Structures are given as C-alpha cells and as structure tokens.
Amino acid sequence: MKNYDNVTAKELHDKKMEMLNDLGRIGGGCNGVYCINCPLDNTNNGKNISCVNLEAEHFDEYVKIIMEYEPKVDWEKVEVDTRRRNAN
C-alpha cells in the first residue's frame, strides 16, 4: 500500500478534479456525477458514509481513494499495439 502522507492539497485537488471529470462532472464541484458512480460515496458498500463524512471522519481513506483512482480508458482512441505504461 502506498503512503500518501506527503500529498499536497494541490495534488489532491487536481487528482480529485481529474476523477470527477472522468466520471462526467459538469460545471463546479461534482455536478453531473451520480453519487452511486463515485468511489467517494460509500453509502452503497455497507459503510453508510457519504463523501462529505468520509472526508471529515476518514481523511486517510478519502485521500487513498482519490489518489488510487484510475481513469476509464476509451479503447476506441488507443492505437493498436500501444505499450502499456508502468503502474508505479
């Protein structure tokens, strides 16, 4: 498991915006993203914790979810025989 103790606020914000954009964000905040599709909403996995409470009460888990999010791949835009990048 990676250590995210040194993640800056800007890095976290940028990665969160990347994640929300990938999920279909429209405008500010998370407008246009259905909570059920967002990895920050844990109300459907038995934890019963909204993203707001997750950030306030379980900040380490909140950071981990954001920093480990991998954007969806549009395979139609990937050239044939494209090399896979290292997942470090």
Whether the CB-CB separation of 68 and 88 falls below 8 Å is answered with no
Predicted confidence at residue 86, as pLDDT, reads: 62
**In this predicted structure, what is the pLDDT of residue 44?**
56
SS3 content of the chain, % helix, strand, coil (to 5): 40, 0, 60
Please report, for the chain, the start and end positions of each structural domain, with discontinuous segments joined by +.
Answer: 9-71
Q: What is the pLDDT of residue 36?
A: 86
Alpha-carbon dihedral sign for residues 43, 58, 53, 9: negative
Per-residue pLDDT of the chain (88 residues; tens, 9 = 90+): 588 999 999 999 999 999 999 999 998 888 999 888 899 987 656 677 888 888 998 899 999 999 999 988 878 888 888 777 665 5
